[in-house]
A and B are shown apart, each in its own frame.
Chain A
Amino acid sequence: MDNLLLMLAPLFSSKLLLVLFFGTLFGLILGVLPGLGPTTGGALILPFTMTLDPLSAIVLLTSIYCAGTYGGAITAVLINTPGTPAAAATCLDGYPLAQKGEAGRALGMATVSSTAGGIFSVVILVFFAPILAQLAYEFGQPEYFALAIFGLTMLASIGEGSPIKNLIAGAFGILISTVGKDFMTSIDRFTFGINELTEGIGFIPVVVGLFAMSEMLTQSTLINQVFNRIALKAIKLPSKDDYKKTWKTILRSSGIGSFIGVLPAEGGTVASLIGYSEAKRFSKNPEEFGKGSIEGIAGAEAANNAATGGAMVPTLALGIPGSATTAVILTGLIIHGVRPGPDLFREQPDFLYGIFGAMLIANFLFFIFGFFGAKIFARITLVPNKILWPMIFAVSVCGTYSLNQSIIDVWIMLFFGVLGFFMRRYGFSVVPVIIGLILGELVEGTLRQSLVIFDGNWLMFFTRPIALTFFILSLIALAFPLIRSRKLKKNYD
């Protein structure tokens, strides 16, 4: 009961309500603009959150996350381009339905299923995050090391693209975290005599570089791209018949999305694809999929929004990000001096339940904004890239500079922008780099402290049941893509 009251706290704070209002609005705008999305937007806003108290800062980031994930559907339905990667599956049926003159119905279903998925996932978050945090009390250094390895292998396994490339990217992210003074011995590593590197490479220059600047370079290759935008008269709430057709799909996809979200991977993107394919598998009319099926829209949208709450579970309970955007939120927590994990649940329940409540309210807010403002948000896509991206560059540069007032940080950001562009061009996802960078200190620290505990005996890791379970799960995660590709080959033959 106390926790429920704590969840309602944002409703009684005018400051938090204002933050939620702007966060949701900003998230929707970011979601609508192809190439931006909640991850890049979160990274851009991160330096500004330094002026806020920790709760307001995280409420701002989480509301951007929830609204941005939904916002991608508007562009997916109207211009057949997902505003966010998580909305890619929404294009498959959203755009064909809009082409039939039913854009309002498609967006209505996307709005309702996104809200339902989001609310479902917050309920999961409220119930499961404390349980997971309680379990984490049993974890020592070796268990945390095994957990971090499991997180990285899961990311490689079910994240987008080649698992080996994802592992290389993750290892590279951990390598970046080793730059600077070694935290146990104060010995310089990879500083090359540059004083500014002795403190290590900050999260923000890397995050802004890999997401925003690399996207700017990607957009520079697409300047002749023309979008065909379908006119939207008004958004329509789903009919009784539509609800009858889709309620099971929404419920199933909400469950799938929340579960996928909990696993450390690319959250909403993977969740929406699985939610969509499961909706097709269970549908009475699978032949309608790809031609404007209302179930297809519901399946994809409920799943990607359900992944938001799911991804927050490991982020808050264990400090292991469940998706790219939660990696940014975790960065926000760290720079505000909040250490996620079981202690956070015991010592700062008001902070945590404030976030849960804010996520719940954000889901209702984006429903209202989406329902009444989709037509206006759709017009934002008309802002030409040749105007938008130079402006984003100015904000990125100043935001990155503002954190440490260091011009070196700006150069690091540009370097990672170029690197991120080429990584994406050759099929390396940039998400594992960020997650590797965030988990790097945890991986190295827990490994070295475990070896101290074990007196240098590596085999002792396998005598700890929880650690051993995570190692076995990591092996299964690594073997999963191999089994999947063999199965697909067998089916194909």
Chain B
Amino acid sequence: MKNVQKQKRANKSLPFFFRDEFRVSLVIILISVALLITTFTFDVVPPILNRGIQPATFPKALLVIIIVMTLLIYYLATKNPWKVEKKLPRSFFLTLSSFVIFVVVSKTLDFFLAISALSIFVSYCWGEKRLFYLLLVGIIFPIIVFIFFETILGLRFPPGIITNIYYS
């Protein structure tokens, strides 16, 4: 409890644009406004075909509700600040970047190569240095998963340098 109070006090001492509540609220509002603008580009149903409300009305109302409630949480947070979150460790950023690598490799090279690469990378970054276990998570397990999905569920995976060899 004391720790939370301390973290809250630490947050209050920061300039407002560095506080989590400001940055989080700002991001939500900016995204909501962008989406709200998008709703004005939706096609409009001619009055003769329109039953009830226009397709854009419901999302517009939701976005306005989100913006109003976000302003409310920001207002409440000025009175009762959020606690400062601990800085994210290096392992988090490495895991996050592995997601990006996964998307790039699965799109350009091969879906299963991407799974293998991510598994080995994440396992290594999280502290696994033993070769057998790296091979287990990066090669043996993905092969088991591939065989399971391919033979039991009858799934066809997207083409790529490894899957093409298997399918040919």
Contact = CB atoms under 8 A, between A and B. Distances in A.
Interface in B100-146: 102-103, 106-107, 111, 115, 118-120, 122-123, 126-128, 133, 136-138, 141-142, 145-146
Contacts of A393: 115, 118-119, 122
A407 B111 contact: yes
B7 to A, nearest CB: 13
A250 interface: no
B110 to A, nearest CB: 12
Interface string B50-88: 111101101100110110011011001000001001001
Contacts, number: 157
Nearest to A50: B153
Interface string B82-97: 1001001101101110
A426 B62 contact: no
B89 A221 contact: yes
Contacts of A168: 28, 66, 69-70, 73
Nearest to B133: A387
A417 to B, nearest CB: 7
A192 B123 CA distance: 36
A160 interface: no
A417 B98 CA distance: 13
Contact of A188 (B35, B43, B107, B127): B43
A162 B133 CA distance: 42
Contact of A426 (B24, B45, B102, B157): B24
Contacts of B4: none
Interface in A193-226: 216-217, 220-221, 223
B52 A448 contact: yes
Interface of B: 20, 24, 28, 35, 38-39, 42-43, 45, 49-53, 55-56, 58-59, 62-63, 65-66, 69-70, 72-73, 76, 82, 85, 88-89, 91-92, 94-96, 99, 102-103, 106-107, 111, 115, 118-120, 122-123, 126-128, 133, 136-138, 141-142, 145-146, 149, 152-153, 155-158
B45 A185 contact: yes
Contacts of A217: 92, 95-96
Interface string A168-190: 10011011001000101101111
A394 B145 contact: yes
B137 A48 contact: no
9 contacts: A51-B152, A164-B73, A171-B66, A174-B62, A217-B92, A386-B133, A387-B136, A401-B155, A426-B24
A164 B75 CA distance: 12
A239 interface: no
Interface centre among A172, A187, A385, A397 (most CB of B within 10 A): A397
Task: Give chain A's interface secondary structure class.
Answer: helix
B49 A185 contact: yes
B137 A190 contact: no
A405 B156 contact: yes
A426 B42 CA distance: 32
A411 B114 CA distance: 13
A192 B42 CA distance: 10
Contacts of A417: 99
Contact of B91 (A178, A220, A426): A220
A67 B153 CA distance: 26
Contacts of B102: 397, 414
Interface in A327-361: none
Contacts of B38: 190, 192
A373 interface: no
A384 B88 CA distance: 21
B145 A398 contact: yes
Interface string A381-424: 00011110111011101100110010100110010011000000
Contact of A407 (B55, B107, B128): B107
Contacts of B51: 184, 448, 452
Contact of A397 (B49, B115, B136): B115
A425 B122 CA distance: 21
B59 to A, nearest CB: 5
A75 to B, nearest CB: 20
Contacts of A48: 153
A189 B40 CA distance: 10
Count chain A CB atoms within 10 A of each CB in B53, B95, B111 and give the residue with the most.
Answer: B95
B75 to A, nearest CB: 10
B66 A189 contact: no
Contacts of B146: 398
Contact of B92 (A190, A192, A220, A391): A220
A447 interface: yes
B42 A189 contact: yes
